[in-house]
Amino acid sequence: MVKPEQSASVLKQGRVEVRDVSKIFMDASGGAIEALTPVTLDVAPGEFVSLVGPSGCGKSTLLRMISGLDVPTSGRLYLDGQEILGPHYERGLMFQDPTLYPWLTVEKNIAIGLEARKLHKKREEVREMIKLVGLEGFEQAFPFQLSGGMAQRAAMARALVNHPRVLLLDEPLGALDAFTRMQMQEELLRIWQDRSTTMLFVTHDIDEAVYLSDRIVVMASRPGRIKEIVPVSMGRPRARNHPDFFRLRTKILEILNFVHDEPSGYQI
């Protein structure tokens, strides 16, 4: 959650409201597929909320509708009281694939969003983001010269350079090896605490959700829906081997109808 010492201006930004939102897709034969039954969700400014659940439960669909890339079949979405009617730089989006332009350097990949807005302080903003994500010295590197973790850092900088009110992350760490993934979790928390940006994070990794989140939205499929919202009361930094960590993880597995004694790191 937003820390008490943060300014009032920060507290006014980044509130996401989802009101009775549903999504129906049509299959190749013209049949209706209910990807998401009407859901309602409030996310406070500066909050870190994770969405977990099995494939097909509507996690990514909900994220894409908040981003403005998809339109709900019914219901409405708001950011700070303004209805979301399409994509906007105030809603940053990261995917599992960094989607960097291979012909552009790290610096130019990060700057691409600012160029579209014709901002005068482009160079200063890009330098700030490169420093924030720890890529100093790699400004002129091309994507093929980066490790997976470095490429995701560049993608995160590109998503943050416009100072979005909310950052939407669709399994951004899913393709990384376990060690790099834990490093990136720490980086993500550091950036979140530094910038107070509201974050909505889709993951299949329950341990990751418990480690990062203020609240965990547990979703179920057929049709996609919110099954339960679980608050995470543990302080930070969190110990992955703490009994409270395991208790919370077990609770989420119970909600999802999984057995209690799955090995740590189990993914659904």
Each domain of the chain, given as residue ranges in start order, spans: 11-90+165-243, 96-163
Q: Length of the chain, please? A: 268
**What pLDDT does residue 120 have?**
57
Specify the amino acid at residue 122. K
**What is the full per-residue pLDDT of the chain (268 aa) written as tens digits?**
444 444 434 444 899 999 999 999 888 887 888 899 999 999 999 999 999 999 889 999 999 999 999 999 999 999 999 999 999 989 999 988 888 999 999 999 999 877 766 655 577 889 989 998 999 999 999 999 999 999 999 999 999 988 899 999 999 998 888 998 999 999 999 999 998 999 999 999 999 999 999 999 999 998 899 999 999 999 999 999 999 999 999 999 999 987 545 455 545 4
Report d(CA 194, CA 212) in Å as an integer: 15
Q: Are strands 91-94 and 166-170 parallel, antiparallel or unpaired?
A: parallel
Q: For residue range 183-238, what is the model confidence (pLDDT) as tens digits?
A: 999 999 999 999 899 999 999 999 999 999 999 999 999 889 999 999 999 999 99
Residue partners of 251: CB distance under 8 A and separation at least 6: 230
Instruction: Looking at 68-167, list the stretches that DSSP marks H as alpha helix, in order from N- to C-terminal side.
Output: 106-117, 122-132, 148-160
What letter does residue 267 receive in the DSSP assignment?
A: B
* Closest to 212 (Cα-Cα) out of 41, 71, 52, 82: 52
**What pLDDT does residue 11 have?**
43
Neighbours of 179 (CB within 10 A): 9
Describe the strand order of the beta sheet including 74-79 as a list of residue ranges.
32-43, 16-26, 74-79, 82-83
* Closest to 89 (Cα-Cα) out of 71, 61, 114, 65: 114
Report d(CA 255, CA 219) in Å as an integer: 9
Taking the CA atoms of 59, 179, 46 and 114 in sequence, report the sign of the dihedral they define.
negative
* CATH architecture of the domain with range 11-90+165-243: 3-Layer(aba) Sandwich (3.40)
pTM across the whole model: 0.87
Number of Cα atoms under 13 Å in the Cβ half of residue 118: 0
